[in-house]
């Protein structure tokens, strides 16, 4: 095993993942991009929304992937702005998430676990003041939508997230 392989294994272990080396070798990789596509999120685009790039950021999204052997992790994030308020955007994405399973509403003071969501929890994830936050999927295959009021209370800004983790 060379230094690069040991470094990747160390990185995977620091990330809390278990690593093993197969008899025919070990393959690993890292992907970090300052962009993402709506298709990578698995949710429809909100009509009329525009990509939102915050100051100092390369673009409105990011993709991070890490894999080694049979382990993998991928996180995709996109930011948008809309002239529509929080409620219509949040309703649109709550309905879109519901098409693929139970939705957990982390906007409630004491969210109840979504029936059938198999361990999905809000933990410390809460929306911005006046916003809404929804999760769907499972802890290792998660989609999340966070909607908040836009600047000066006009329109809204929202973040779409998809995380997939695999283990043997």
Q: Over pLDDT 70: what percentage of the chain?
A: 77
pLDDT of residue 10: 53
Segments of 83-155 assigned E as strands: 103-105, 132-138, 141-149
pLDDT of residue 152: 87
Cβ atoms of residues 40 and 162 within 8 Å = yes
Of 53-57, 137-141, 148-152, which has the strongest mean pLDDT?
A: 148-152
17 pLDDT higher than 50 = no
Neighbours of 110 (CB within 10 A): 5
8 pLDDT higher than 60 = no
Query: What H or E segment, with its residue span, contains residue 158?
Result: strand 156-166
SS (H, E, C) 29-83: EEEEECCCCHHHHCCCCCCCCEECCCCCCCCCEEEEEEEECCEEEEEEEEEEEEC
**Using CA atoms, how far apart are residues 102 and 84, in angstroms rounded to an integer?**
25
Instruction: Give the pLDDT mean for 126-146.
Output: 91
Instruction: Give the pLDDT mean for 79-98.
Output: 96
Query: What H or E segment, with its residue span, contains residue 92?
Result: helix 86-98
pLDDT of residue 140: 85
16 pLDDT higher than 50 = no
113 pLDDT higher than 70 = no
* Full-model pTM: 0.78
Instruction: Give the pLDDT mean for 113-124.
Output: 74
Question: Which range is least confidently modeled, 20-24, 42-46, 90-94?
Answer: 20-24
């Amino acid at each position: 095993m060379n230094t690069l392989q040991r470094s990747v294994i160390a990185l995977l272990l620091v990330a809390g993942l278990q690593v093993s080396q197969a008899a025919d070798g070990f393959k690993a990789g890292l992907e970090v991009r300052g962009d993402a596509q709506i298709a990578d999120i698995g949710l429809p685009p909100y009509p009329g929304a525009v990509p939102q790039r915050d100051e100092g950021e390369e673009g409105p999204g990011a993709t991070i992937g890490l894999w080694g052997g049979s382990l993998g992790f991928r996180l995709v994030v996109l930011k948008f702005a809309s002239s529509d308020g929080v409620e219509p955007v949040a309703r649109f994405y709550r309905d879109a998430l519901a098409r693929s399973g139970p939705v957990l509403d982390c906007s409630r003071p004491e969210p109840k676990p979504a029936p059938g969501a198999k361990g999905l929890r809000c933990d410390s994830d809460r929306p911005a003041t006046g916003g809404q936050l929804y999760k769907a999927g499972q802890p290792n295959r998660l989609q999340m939508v966070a909607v908040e009021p836009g600047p000066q209370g006009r329109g809204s800004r929202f973040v779409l997230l998809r995380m997939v983790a695999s283990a043997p």
